[in-house]
A and B are shown apart, each in its own frame.
Chain A
Amino acid sequence: MSQLHVTTKINGDETEFLCEAEDTLLDVLRDRLGLTGTKEGCGTGDCGACSVAVDGRLVCSCLMLGAEAEGRDIATIEGMATGDQLHPLQQKFIEMAALQCGICTPGILVAAQSLLERNPDPSEEEVRYWLAGNLCRCTGYDKIIRAVMETAADMRRAS
């Protein structure tokens, strides 16, 4: 079977790749494009480690085919920092030790960014519900939630 040729935008860059029809977007990102920041925890939509934004909408890249990316605008964790300048969420996660092994972290950062873009002043409950599809085996969540709340507060003060 011949491979599919897909043209898409990833973190603002025009990108082309070849993939098999059954490859997920996660397979493509990691194995064909070398963007290994996006993680695979489960492959079944349960853990959120594979979170990316597609046309501004948060999705699990393990539940989307690479072929579906044609003409779309995809944002991954690799696009979050600006050069050497970490995104405020990334900076805060380090400061507050909101990560341990780090497998869940890219997905949580991408998901949290998507929340703050929509809602700069979320309640703790809103943060917890928004991130309910992002599992973490290490931290117990508390530091993650606090880091997101504090980042939101910092970003509101800065704007």
Chain B
Amino acid sequence: MRYEAPRRLEDAVSLLAGQDGAHVLAGGTDLLVKLRSEMIEPEMIVDIKRIEGMREIAAEDGGWRIGAAVSGAEMGEHAGLVADWPGVVEAAGLIGSTQIQGRATLAGNLCNASPAADSVPAMVAAGARVRIAGPNGMRDMDVIDVPQGPGKTALERGEFIAFVWLPARGEHSSDAYLRFIPRTEMDIAVVGCGISLSLDDGDRVTAARVSLGAVGPKVMLVEEAAEAITRRVLDEAALSDLAAACSAAATPIDDKRGTIDFRKHVAGVLARRAAVIAAKRAKGETA
């Protein structure tokens, strides 16, 4: 196995394009586990952390550009990002322990393509996009289009994500992410739910995006759930409709960590709670 740590984007692309079995290394919290357990046997590892700009969080087009090597811990320490997208930051902050936080990245969480990845529903709710570097230059993609199923992504040979972009955050808008795990820390989501919404002066929802993780082969954007609360105040009736839409949309599996019925129910409960948190934040209250 070769280890390469290029400093230029183009060099990373040619290394990845020119070698079968070349794997991108960001925080390594998935890749190293797979390497050590011989689930993968890479010919080459391309460490992207030394490429210029990869470790930066920068303002771009009113939103935020998060380099593919920025860790969850670094995101949590960035006041501007936390103010605009607290749900995305809290979702990334749920990944693993303090030690894992020191290394784990958004793009790594996305490209590992686990159906239960915590930051992915939050990014989908936020309408996040990724910029992909590859042999034919750069292209952009919505986060929701990256995972293609467990362990599979839409990236082609030689391509990797250079950064994640979170859009501009309007007035009276915020987001939240909640997951259910059987323990209080260090576990894999049984259900995850991300919600991003905007309110008008009368606390009526003007726009919403609702996503679910871990209840299907890949993350889902639940348009019926967003529709259920749009143009409404988040009263009990609206929240019940939101929960029902999420429970109906979830297509979970049955296993020892939760039955189908339980997971569908939890999807609704989390959506309801996340909506309340996002709305509080949108009003400038702490939640």
- Of A20, A58, A63, A132, which one neighbours B185 at CB under 8 angstroms? A132
- Of A21, A48, A58, A60, which one neighbours B45 at CB under 8 angstroms? A21
Find the B residue at minimum CB distance from A67: B3
Q: A45-B100, A65-B25 are in contact. Are A24 and B3 (CB under 8 A)?
A: no
Interface flags for A36-71 (1: CB within 8 Å of B; 0: not) read 000000011110100100100111101111011010
Q: Which residues of B contact A67 (CB under 8 A)?
A: 3, 5, 47
Q: Which residues of A contact B27 (CB under 8 A)?
A: 63
Whether A94 is near chain B, meaning CB under 8 Å from some CB there, is: no
Interface size on A, residues (CB 8 A): 33
B191 to chain A minimum Cβ distance, whole angstroms, is 21
Tell me if B29 and A48 are in contact (CB < 8 A).
no
Whether B258 is near chain A, meaning CB under 8 Å from some CB there, is: no
Task: Name the residue in B27, B45, B73, B97 with the highest tally of chain A Cβ atoms < 10 Å from its Cβ.
Answer: B97
Tell me if A63 and B71 are in contact (CB < 8 A).
no
Tell me if B99 and A44 are in contact (CB < 8 A).
no
Whether A88 is near chain B, meaning CB under 8 Å from some CB there, is: no
Tell me if A44 and B36 are in contact (CB < 8 A).
yes
Whether B28 is near chain A, meaning CB under 8 Å from some CB there, is: yes
Interface size on B, residues (CB 8 A): 27
- Of A1, A22, A68, A114, which one neighbours B35 at CB under 8 angstroms? A22
A48 to B73, CA, bound (A): 17
A110 to B260, CA, bound (A): 42
Find the A residue at minimum CB distance from B35: A22
Task: Name the residue in A57, A63, A130 with the highest tally of chain B Cβ atoms < 10 Å from its Cβ.
Answer: A63
- Of B37, B45, B97, B99, which one neighbours A65 at CB under 8 angstroms? B45
Q: A65-B25, A67-B3 are in contact. Are A129 and B185 (CB under 8 A)?
A: yes
Q: Which residues of B contact A62 (CB under 8 A)?
A: 32, 36
Find the A residue at minimum CB distance from B74: A57
Q: A21-B3, A63-B28, A65-B3 are in contact. Are A133 and B33 (CB under 8 A)?
A: no
Whether B1 is near chain A, meaning CB under 8 Å from some CB there, is: yes
Interface flags for A120-137 (1: CB within 8 Å of B; 0: not) read 000000000111111000
Task: Name the residue in B25, B73, B103 with the highest tally of chain A Cβ atoms < 10 Å from its Cβ.
Answer: B103
Whether B256 is near chain A, meaning CB under 8 Å from some CB there, is: no
A114 to B102, CA, bound (A): 12
Tell me if B3 and A45 are in contact (CB < 8 A).
no
A8 to B20, CA, bound (A): 30
Tell me if A59 and B102 are in contact (CB < 8 A).
yes
A143 to B90, CA, bound (A): 30
Q: A45-B33, A68-B47, A68-B49 are in contact. Are A59 and B103 (CB under 8 A)?
A: yes
Q: Which residues of B contact A20 (CB under 8 A)?
A: 1
Q: A21-B3, A57-B73 are in contact. Are A63 and B45 (CB under 8 A)?
A: no
Q: A45-B32, A63-B33 are in contact. List 8 more A-B contacts (CB 8 A).
A: A4-B3, A24-B32, A58-B98, A59-B99, A63-B100, A65-B45, A129-B98, A134-B97
